[in-house]
Amino acid sequence: MVVASALLLLLCAPRAEAQPLPHLRIAGSSTVKPVAEQWQNALLLNYSITLEGGGSSTGARRVCLPPSDPEHVDIGDMSREWKTSEAQLLDDGYTYECLESGNRVTQIMVAIDGLAVAVKRDSAAHACIEAIGGLTLAQLRWVFSDWSDAELEADGVSIESCVPNMDDDAVKEWSDLDARCEETPINPYGAGDQSGTHDFFGETVLGDFGGAEGFPDCDADDMHYLEGLDEDAADLYIQSQRTPNCVMPSEDDHLLLQWLLADTGGQGWGGTGGRGQGTDRDRRGHRIFRVRLLRPVHRHGRCHCDREGHGIGGVRHALGQNCTR
């Protein structure tokens, strides 16, 4: 046996002498990953590329590790700015210095992504949103906030107009939003806290994200348990055992989509880039439906269901217009 394997090595040796491709390691943001996959495909002849996800914070952390560290990457994908806790901007306004390792890094914008809130097509959630016509930002905030209704009200959200059909059973249900909707819990899914998308969504939808307000995250043990299940078992867990209303996070977009598609009351957020080319279909051909964002309307001089100056990305100003309590 020993002789045989030695011979094998000898036979392979001449091929190994061909010039090896330079190796590039890339990891980080799941919303940048589809772009990085395109780099990988375009540069197959030129580089051997190892590509991993993990979220923006993972990208920032790993590009900042000392180059001798086996986890160090050459490119850290991020869908957000550097945080002052990670790296310091130098005087040239361009170079960052990692706080711990002193690695010098910079940030180059490669793409602009949109963020979508989505539900499963032909679900209870979809039927409800079709009946209402869409959701306002304040309704999204009510769904995704860990603040009580009283805290939201004190911060300017008109609960009465956001959730006119509330039945006070302490579970947030689609029927709370409108009498035409099913009495099914609203179950959120979204990127985990390693993700730039997580922070962006929190900052734009919640009023005081990272301060007193946050997402009502599911128990981490439940999340790990769910991550370990195969697809059929995960579907069953979601349909029979999932804690209602908590945000089930993952750094894996494919898992998030799978979970969302198993939940008739599910509602998720994510980057739109990775979903553009038919990847918003699961193996059973189910599709997601993107929730339309509605402008607030005025009733009796009171802003219906929104706060001043509070909006998503490009519609921030439109939503903020004349929107005073």
Ligand X SMILES: *[C@@H]1O[C@H](CO)[C@@H](O)[C@H](O)[C@H]1NC(C)=O
Question: Which positions touch ligand X (CB under 6 A)?
Answer: 45-46
Minimum Å distance from CB 259 to ligand X? 38
- Label residues 176-193 b or e (16+ Cβ within 10 Å = b): bbeeebeebbbbbbbbbe
Please identify, using beta-carbon distances, which residue of 45 and 150 lies nearer to ligand X: 45
Check if the beta carbon of residue 289 is closer than 8 Å to that of residue 120: yes
Measure the CA–CA gap between 320 and 197, rounded to whole angstroms: 22
Shortest distance, position 19 Cβ to ligand X, whole Å = 11
- Dist. CA 247–CA 120, nearest whole Å: 16
Tell me how far, at minimum, the Cβ of 22 lies from ligand X, in Å. Answer: 10
The phi, psi pair for 115, rounded to 5°, reads -120, 130
Closest by Cα among 222, 226, 225, 216 to 256? 226
Cβ-proximal residues to 273 (8 Å cutoff; 6+ apart), any chain: 31, 34, 35, 111, 113, 114
How many residues comprise the chain? 325
The minimum distance between CB 49 and ligand X, in angstroms, equals 12
- Residue 43 or 65 having the CB closest to ligand X: 43
Nearest residue to ligand X, by Cβ distance, number only:
46
The identity of residue 65, as a single letter, is: L
CA 294 – CA 315 distance, rounded (Å): 10
In the complex, least distance from residue 53 CB atom to ligand X, rounded to whole angstroms: 24
Torsion 223-224-230-236 (CA) sign: negative
Comparison of 19 and 85: residue with beta carbon closer to ligand X: 19
With vertex at residue 178, the alpha carbon angle to CA 130 and CA 165, rounded to the nearest 5 degrees, is 170
Cα distance between residue 107 and residue 78, in whole Å: 9
Smallest CA-to-CA distance from 269 within 182, 140, 181 is with 140
CA distance 96 to 263: 43
Choose between 43 and 166: whose C-beta lies nearer to ligand X: 43
DSSP for 37-55, please give it: HHHHHHTTTT-EEEEEEE-
Between 1 and 45, CB nearer to ligand X: 45
Q: Kindly tell me which of 3 and 45 has the beta carbon lying closer to ligand X.
A: 45
Min separation Cβ 42 and ligand X, Å: 8
Nearer to ligand X, 46 or 239 (CB): 46
| Least spacing, CB of residue 15 vs ligand X, in Å | 18
Smallest separation, CB 35 to ligand X (Å): 16
47/237 with CB nearer ligand X:
47
Task: Work out how close the CB of 39 gets to ligand X at its nearest, in angstroms, rounded to a whole number.
Answer: 10
Cβ closest to ligand X, residue 46 vs residue 241: 46
